[in-house]
Chain A
Amino acid sequence: MNTVAIILVYSTSHAIQAERVLKKAGLAAKLIPTPRQLSSDCGSAIRIDAADQEASTAALERAGVPIDRLVAIGA
């Protein structure tokens, strides 16, 4: 079972906006340096609880924050 998921975004502006949107929605979100094996696009990504994937993507969509990819990390 996955415990965390990484939201990849296009820029740090999006990463910070995503962090703010998710925190406002009451979801746990942590800004992390993007794991190099996942992407070289943007230096920052957002780590969320795997259980929050749907709620997180819905909140970001409502706020108009574009997501590059969502990657589930196996436990």
Chain B
Amino acid sequence: MIYLDNAATSWPKPECVIEAITRFLHDVGASPGRSGHRLANEAERIRLDAREALGELLGVSNPLRIVFTSNATTALNIAIQGLLPPGSHVVTSGIEHNAAMRPLRMLEQRGVSISVAPCGGDATMHASALNDLIRPETHLIVANHASNVSGTLLPIRQIGELASARGIPLLVDAAQTAGCAPINLTADHIDILAFTGHKGLLGPTGTGGLAFREDFDIARLPPLICGGTGSRSEDQVQPDFLPDRYEGGTSNILGLAGLAASVRYVLERGVETIRMHEARLTGRLIDGLARVPRVAIVGPCDPAKQTGIVSFVIDGMPCSEAALVLDEQFDIMCRPGLHCAPLAHRSLGTLPDGTVRLAPGPFTTEREIDQTISAVAKLAEIES
């Protein structure tokens, strides 16, 4: 089987992730932040391991500025809903995922105004496109680091420099890039970053979170969810310090045990090494598919400008049909459709039909890419 759906969730996971989860279930089991016995303390040590690894990966020196949520969507909702009061204005890009767009559109109903910066037909965008939309009442810039449809990377450092110069907080959706593209909150001028654990970070589903740059004042951001934290138990008000401010409720510590191991794996293998591996496969896939008649690739078609995603359409064939044949006849797993990102598809001109998305990962081989190119060529031939 060839698994090319790493942009949805990465698979397989490194062996150390399976071992860490198994070890947790066998030997630890307890809930961190509660109780104070040695198993609870060990669980908290594991959670700190995960925070430290992520801090190292993202350029955040205080590990407690890494906050865990159940996914990037929850993380984005905390930041978006907390920073945009009625009457405020937000600037965002034309490649956003619904994880950002839906909370924004909900707030629009409550009097928040939204400006969407236009992208090119390959979903590329200059930072200046955002700059032109900033108003005096702009409270936030929301930018997707990379499109989950075409893989197109936004110039995040330039956007960060712009946000910093204009004094507006920048929230980055790194669901597609954390673990497979370099990110440094300080150097990139990112105030808040939302990440997910189960894609490029190679961890389990149900893990994600927020990373706060050292100088971002969390007093500006109220929590979205309040509840038990194990701290200040006599107090009926949510703690005001990190990470407890945003971590009400029992933690997914089993998932975080896996995430601690997976991020350590990513750090040891190296983000640059993973990026180069995926770029090589992406380039190979683009070159191969470009030679197949009736196939049109969307996006920049340049591995330097995109993540490990190649999205395409076959002239005259619905993408759902193509994906079904790839699964059943060629044993290739991919994702067809709109990928929860209608805005990005509008930028790419692929509404309403969508695309077939191939997303290699750190464990994909060149041989698998070549087999996939042959399969798509046969597919395009069969149906013509």
Do A11 and B41 touch (CB < 8 A)? no
Q: In residues 15-50 of chain A, which contact B (Cβ within 8 Å)?
A: 15-17, 20, 31-34, 40-44
Do B241 and A11 touch (CB < 8 A)? yes
Q: Which residues on B sit within 8 Å (CB–CB) of A20?
A: 45, 48
Given contacts A40-B233, A41-B234, A44-B36, contact A13 B41 (CB under 8 A): no
Q: Which residues on A sit within 8 Å (CB–CB) of B61?
A: 64
Q: How many residues of A contact B (CB 8 A)?
A: 22
Interface magnitude class on chain B: 20 to 34
Given contacts A43-B36, A64-B62, contact A12 B233 (CB under 8 A): no
Q: Determine chain A's interface SS by DSSP, over half rule.
A: mixed
* Interfacial residues, chain B to chain A (CB-CB below 8 A): 32-37, 40-41, 44-45, 47-48, 51, 61-64, 229-234, 239, 241, 243-244
Inter-chain residue pair count (beta carbon < 8 A):
74
A65 to B51, CA, bound (A): 14
Do B41 and A31 touch (CB < 8 A)? yes
Q: Which residues on B sit within 8 Å (CB–CB) of A10?
A: 231-232, 239, 241, 244
Q: Which residues on B sit within 8 Å (CB–CB) of A31?
A: 36, 41
Given contacts A16-B41, A44-B41, contact A11 B62 (CB under 8 A): no
Q: Which residues on B sit within 8 Å (CB–CB) of A17?
A: 48, 63-64
Do B48 and A16 touch (CB < 8 A)? yes
A20 to B44, CA, bound (A): 11
A65 to B65, CA, bound (A): 11
Do A66 and B241 touch (CB < 8 A)? yes
Can you list 7 A-B contacts with CB-CB less than 8 angstroms, sorted by A residue number? A12-B36, A13-B32, A16-B45, A20-B48, A40-B233, A43-B35, A65-B64
A23 to chain B, nearest CB (A): 11
Q: Which residues on B sit within 8 Å (CB–CB) of A41?
A: 231-234
Q: Which residues on B sit within 8 Å (CB–CB) of A33?
A: 36-37
A26 to B40, CA, bound (A): 24
Do B48 and A13 touch (CB < 8 A)? yes
Q: Which residues on A sit within 8 Å (CB–CB) of B239?
A: 10-11
A15 to B230, CA, bound (A): 12
Do B241 and A12 touch (CB < 8 A)? no
Interface hub of A16, A63, A64 (most chain B Cβ within 10 A): A16
B211 to chain A, nearest CB (A): 15
B281 to chain A, nearest CB (A): 38
A20 to B230, CA, bound (A): 20
Interface hub of B231, B234, B239 (most chain A Cβ within 10 A): B231
A37 to chain B, nearest CB (A): 14
A59 to chain B, nearest CB (A): 14
A63 to B232, CA, bound (A): 22
Choose among A12, A32, A34, A65 the residue that contacts B33 (Cβ–Cβ < 8 A): A12
